[in-house]
Chain A
Amino acid sequence: MTFNVTEILEIPTGVGSITVENLVYFAVIVLVGVAVARFVATNTRRILQERLAANERELFVKLVYYIIILWAVVVALPQLNVNLSGLLVAGGVAGLVIAFASQSVVSNLVSGLFLMFEHPIKIGDNVNVAGVTGSVEDVRVLSTVVKMYDGIYVRIPNEKVFTSNITNYVHNPARRFEYQLRIRYQDDANEAIRITKEVIETHPFALRSPAPSVFVDTLGDSSVNLTAYIWAPARNWWDVRTDLLWKIKQALEANNIEIPAPRRTVVFPEGSEAKTLAPGMVGKEEIFEKEE
């Protein structure tokens, strides 16, 4: 049994006058278009690697990629006997139908475009969107991908991102964090404030301006409560926060300023008497002695 390629290519498909040859040409043109688009996109990404921010770079690369594919499809369509001038009219009607049929897709698409132009979030930002906290991996046309801090991948439809409250933790260059420090009543609060400020001063990323603020905030049941407000670069604040607290604690302890254990004074009514004291229990007299 022999095959004649020319005869096979001329076999009509049954749709108008489209033959297998037309279908093959269409497929080849589109595939070449996709290959060219991938090649151009890869090289564009490589060239712009260090010249453009990741967000703008990916947006530009995607734009280039889809324009080339669209161009390939437009070039290939005459193979399917599609009249492009007619397509414009049909496209309008079809667009309307598609818009109704795929309302949520269109909504996500439009939201995605707004997100790309408004820039409330960028790739790499630490955000909280729709209750999801993590770093933005990608802002796509239909969805935004967030990698949570425990490494979980979350895809959020752009419509939800656009209509949700977005908290961008790194949008501003600097942010403030605070510590609550407790010291004993007999410790010198002014000395504790001075030592705390000195430790903060030695950290390179605890910003000099806005200056850190350390003050006596409240007088607690068993401690004097200090509050320290510290500004740090928004992208480094967590490192500063985790780094400084232990250093402050060590510096205070080195100067005999200690964090007190919670203490409660129990006063027994006049005439009552403890019968037996288990080891470790404290008698009435001892309590009064401590208070003095």
Chain B
Amino acid sequence: MMFGRYSGTFRHEFDEIQVEAAEVNGLLTYRRRCEGEAFERILVSNTGEIIINPVEPVNLPREITNYLMMEFSPMVIESGASRTVYLKFPVEIGVFLESTRDMEVLDIFGLGTQKYTLYGSPNNGIIARWYRSTVSSEFPEVGCLCQGVMELSISNASNEWVEVSHAVFNSTDMKIYYDDVVATTATMRILSPTLAETNFIDAPLRPGMVKSVELYTARKIPTINRGYLMEWGLS
């Protein structure tokens, strides 16, 4: 598995991804090739380390939003009912440079395609990364480098039956953990047939998982974990 912390040279190849830090003409050089696209930087560092881990999937092909919309088979939920289901979410891979004083994002890449959508109306909605997932009651099998598992606890706090076919999350709240799979834990609390609160839980899905470095931490952007209020419908 390529996720982890490296100092000096290393090399990993998996599927269509090749990542390495190698001496080139006496200079430590980071090189990455993913689905035919290449990225290269010369590294000048005394104490720096390279961290590679899964990151919030809203950066490719270019960062235009913080939101992630997960679409799944429609579920009809009874008033007061709650259920935990498993979805698959897209994974992007972040490469960070860390020193004792600072941390910087070096590279972000990922396998597969991306698609964006509008949640809400064109005049006051939001742009979100769109991903369709299957719904399963048990931990599904995933390809480690392009998909992760989201444990989603849905509860219906309204007084009506509610149909849900998508959940929108603010990725600044996203907490990703990994071992041999990438995972995150989220909640969705339905307040009315058109309103729901979503949030992430900062806890590993199973013991022993390592927490990913978050992009917002590396970019030194302060965020407040407030979750997201879905105001423009749930299906």
State whether these chains interact: yes
Q: How large is the interface on B (under 10, 10 to 19, 20 to 34, 35 or more residues)?
A: 20 to 34
Residues of A within 8 A of B114 (CB): 204
Flag whether B117 is at the interface (Cβ < 8 A). Answer: yes
Chain A neighbourhood of B208, CB < 8 A: none
Q: Which residues of A contact B219 (CB under 8 A)?
A: 50
Chain A-chain B contacts (Cβ-Cβ < 8 Å), number: 54
Name the one of A50, A51, A205 contacting B64, with C-beta atoms under 8 angstroms. Answer: A205
| A176 CA to B122 CA, complexed, in Å | 9
Is residue A57 within 8 Å, beta carbon to beta carbon, of the partner chain?
no
A174 adjacent to B122 (CB under 8 Å): yes
B-contacting 9-mer, from A231-239, A265-273, A281-289: A231-239
Tell me whether A276 is interfacial, beta carbon within 8 Å. no
Contact B127 A204 (CB under 8 A): no
> Which A residue sits closest to B122, measured CB to CB?
A174
Find out whether the CB atom of A173 lies under 8 angstroms from the CB atom of B222.
Answer: no
Looking at chain A's contact residues, the main secondary structure is: loop
Judge if A207 is at the interface, Cβ distance under 8 Å: yes
| Residues on A with beta carbons closer than 8 Å to the beta carbon of B61 | 204
Are B222 and A51 in contact, with the CB atoms below 8 A? yes
5 tightest A-B CB contacts, nearest first = A208-B117, A204-B114, A209-B117, A172-B123, A174-B122
Which A residues form the contact surface with B (CB < 8 A)? 50-51, 172-176, 202, 204-205, 207-210, 231, 233, 235-236
Known: A172-B124, A173-B122, A236-B62. 14 other contacts (CB 8 A): A51-B221, A51-B222, A172-B122, A173-B120, A173-B126, A173-B127, A176-B122, A202-B113, A204-B113, A204-B116, A208-B130, A209-B130, A233-B64, A233-B127
**28 A-B contact pairs sorted by A residue (CB < 8 Å):** A50-B219, A50-B220, A50-B221, A51-B222, A172-B123, A172-B124, A173-B118, A173-B120, A173-B124, A173-B126, A173-B127, A175-B122, A204-B114, A204-B115, A204-B116, A205-B64, A207-B116, A207-B118, A207-B127, A208-B115, A208-B116, A208-B117, A209-B118, A209-B130, A210-B118, A210-B122, A233-B127, A236-B62
